[in-house]
Structure formats: C-alpha cells, structure tokens
Amino acid sequence: MDYREVTGKREFVARLGHGADWRSEIESLAEDEGVESAWFVAMGAVQDADVWFYDQDEKEYREVSFDEPLEVASCVGNVSLLDGEPFAHTHAVLSRQSGQALAGHLDSATVFAGEVYMRTFEEPLVREHDEPTELDLWL
Amino acid sequence: MDYREVTGKREFVARLGHGADWRSEIESLAEDEGVESAWFVAMGAVQDADVWFYDQDEKEYREVSFDEPLEVASCVGNVSLLDGEPFAHTHAVLSRQSGQALAGHLDSATVFAGEVYMRTFEEPLVREHDEPTELDLWL
Amino acid sequence: MDYREVTGKREFVARLGHGADWRSEIESLAEDEGVESAWFVAMGAVQDADVWFYDQDEKEYREVSFDEPLEVASCVGNVSLLDGEPFAHTHAVLSRQSGQALAGHLDSATVFAGEVYMRTFEEPLVREHDEPTELDLWL
C-alpha cells in the first residue's frame, strides 16, 4: 500500500447542468478552479449511462450502455492529473424504477439532475501507468 | 453547471436510533444543531425501506416498498433548506442476504443500526423549484 | 439517536496494494498512523469478495462469497476501536461485467486496484456491545 497525508485546500458544492455529461461537468469544475487533486461524492439522476467494467485478465475495459433514465444512488470518485489534464475517476451506482441496482466505472452519462460535493487537496495526484494492473494509477 | 465554494464549519458522527426513521434522524441532527447545509455519508442496516424513482417523463416520483431487512451498503446525501426546514436529500444502496443490490432515493426506512458522518457548511443551501426537471434544487 | 461533534485531524489518500486484502489495508493505514477514529470512501476493483448480511432475527452474519473479478462501485466505512484495535467497518457495492450490482458488509476482498480517501478525527470511537442489535456499535 502507498499512502500520503494530504491537506484540504478548498471545497465546493455543485449542481450539474441538465443535459450535460456527468463526468465532464466534474472535470469542468476542476479545470475552472485549477484543481489537480480532489475527492468527491455525488448523487442525482441521469438520462442514460455508459458503464465500464475492467476485464482483469485481458486488461481492457468492457462497456455496457443503459439508454434509459436512472437514479444515481451513489457516486464516488477522485480528481487527479492524467496526461496533464484533470481526470475525474468516477464510479457510480444507478437504479431503475423497480429498485434494481446497476453499477461500475462511469464513463459518461447525460445529467438529469446532479448534486456534487468536492474536497480538494494541496498536493497533486498524478496518474501513471501501473505494471501489474495496466491501469493509470496515482501514488 | 452552477457551483460555489463552501467553508466547512462543524462535523458530526451519529449513531441512528434503533427503530427510528433513517431520514428523520438525519434531519433531527440538523435541526438540533441549526444546520442549514451539509453533506453526509452513512451505512448500516434497516428493517424496511421506501425507495423512490423519479419518472423523468411524467415528472413524478414512483415508490417501491421493501418490507424486509436490508443492509445499507451506501448512503450519500445532503442537507439543505426546503420550505424553511432542513431536508435531508438521501440516496441509498440496499442489499439482500443474497448480495442482490437495490437502490434509489430513500424516502423512509426503519433503522436497525445506522452510522453517519456529516460535514456542515457555513453557506446555506436553499431548494427552489427548477423548471426543466420540476424538482426542488439548490444553487 | 446519539451523536457528537468531531474535529478533523488529518486526512490521507491511499492506493491499496495489488493482491492484498481490501479491509486489512485500510486497517493497516490506521495502525501505522495511530488512527482511532475516521471515515473513509473508496473505489476500485477486487479479484473476489466475501460479503456479509446481518440476519436481524437470528442476530448472526450470513456470508456470500463471490469468487470473480468485480468493480468496487462504492465503498463507505469508518475506523473505530474494537477490542483495542483499529477496525474498519466497511460496506461496499460491487459490480459484474453486465453492470449487475451486489452489495453488503465487506469482510474481505482481494485488491485488484483500490483508491481510498480517509478523514481522521481527534475524538476516538470505541465499539461496545449493543443490546437490541447484538452488534458492536460506537457512541
């Protein structure tokens, strides 16, 4: 395990734009405020969602698209630098009218309504290629 | 997107009362401490749950009731003022003994055991009617 | 309900060790840094997972084992003292390639990749036997 102490710098609440992309909105906040590292939690609803699952054997993401309205029952993620740009690594749990839950890495989703809390840190987080997982990881 | 910087004021941990209502307990903490804006994360177990899904076409909530014991695998939400009173907008992911996950907007649930972390802000969040979604949103 | 105000002391970000146990890694961070109370949120992927469901009638945990790769779509928990040692009470929502979500109390899981944010408090949280639930609860 690698860990480091961080120092909270500034914190934000956001209401994501209706019709915009969920993850791009979070990255847009980071860009506008010069945020290079942060954690966030969020909730709301989306009009559709592309969810990714990492194939740990083949080392590739597999996508599932849900072209239907869904609640965002939980959204947890962090902001770091990937290739010099703020990247919002975003995981989400979504739900259907029946209460059935769907979940995974959230690549994109059209916002219906979204509420976000973001806590930023002074210390940057920078993603780099990680050998055993073939993912871009920080620390 | 609308966002604003906020300033953390005070933070609390709570153990929700066995047999009480999950969301009312969180609102009770806010009322007792004069909290007008906050974010919280929580976990635990409930004896039953009423979960809502927003029908984005009809602009109405649909309810599903689960009259069975469930784990609260994730609970994320925020406190804001709605009609002058603290309202805990609460989303949750619940689970059955099989591991099956259910999720949505948590209207009410009978606490079996509940653990909450709440971070409050100096700046109030006030919900008002939003035209495109017909929801009460802040900012 | 019982609650108390807490004072944030230090905060950490961690990358969990590939192949290590998810919960042990979090407890290891707490032990290394002398953390007796904290809340955390996390995300990532695991190679397998043992998930518990509390049988509220029989007052016993039931385990379900998933021997397959899963995304960690949400992980919420807290650190407290249990029998004098840091214990990471950990709930998680996991997902399969289809997007199907599984969830519950996370007893153990083999880390594929894991990212954690932990906020620690000055005031200790100590778990003690609770009569109505027969769980070890703090406050």
Residue-wise pLDDT tens digits, C82-106: 999 999 999 999 999 999 999 999 9
CA dist B126 and B123 (Å) reads 10
pLDDT, position B106: 98
Q: How confident is the model at residue C73 (pLDDT cuts 50, 70, 90)?
A: very high
Q: CB-based contact (8 Å) between A89 and chain C?
A: yes
Q: How confident is the model at residue C113 (pLDDT cuts 50, 70, 90)?
A: very high
> What does the pLDDT look like over B117-136, one tens digit per residue?
999 999 999 999 999 999 99
> What is the model's pTM?
0.98
pLDDT, position B82: 97
CA distance C59 to chain A (A): 26
Interface test with C, best of B93, B110, B119, B121 (most C CBs within 10 A): B93
ipTM above 0.90, yes or no: yes
pLDDT, position B69: 98
pLDDT, position A91: 98
- Under CATH, which architecture does the C11-122 domain have? 2-Layer Sandwich (3.30)
**CB distance B48 to B67 below 8 Å:** yes
Q: Residue A130: which of B9, C112, C37 has the closest Cα?
A: C112
**Percent of chain B residues topping a pLDDT of 70:** 100
CA dist A65 and A110 (Å) reads 12
Set of chain A residues whose Cβ sits within 8 Å of the Cβ of B7: 11
**Minimum-distance CB partner of A73 among B91, B121, B135:** B91
**Taking the domains of chain A in order of start, what are their residue ranges?**
11-122
How large is the average pLDDT for residues C53-82?
Answer: 98
| Secondary structure string (H, E, C) spanning C34-58 | CCCCEEEEEEEEEEEEEEEEEECCC
How large is the average pLDDT for residues B5-11?
Answer: 96
pLDDT, position C78: 98
* Alpha-carbon distances of C92 from A17, A48, C18, C45, C134, rounded to whole Å: 28, 23, 18, 11, 22
pLDDT, position C24: 98
Torsion (CA) C75, A48, B96, A90 in degrees, nearest 10: -10
CA dist A25 and A12 (Å) reads 13
Cα A30 → chain centroid: 12
**Minimum-distance CB partner of C15 among A1, A39, A93:** A1
Which residues of chain A register pLDDT less than 70? none
How large is the average pLDDT for residues B82-90?
Answer: 97
CA distance C100 to chain B (A): 8
Set of chain B residues whose Cβ sits within 8 Å of the Cβ of C125: 13
Q: Determine the residue type at C136.
A: D
Give A115's Cβ-side CA count (13 Å radius): 26
CA dist C35 and C12 (Å) reads 11
| Secondary structure string (H, E, C) spanning C56-116 | CCCCEEEEEEECCCEEEEEEEEEEEEECCEEEEEEEEEEECCCCEEEEEEEEEEEEEEEEE
CA distance B101 to chain C (A): 5
**CB distance B95 to B101 below 8 Å:** yes
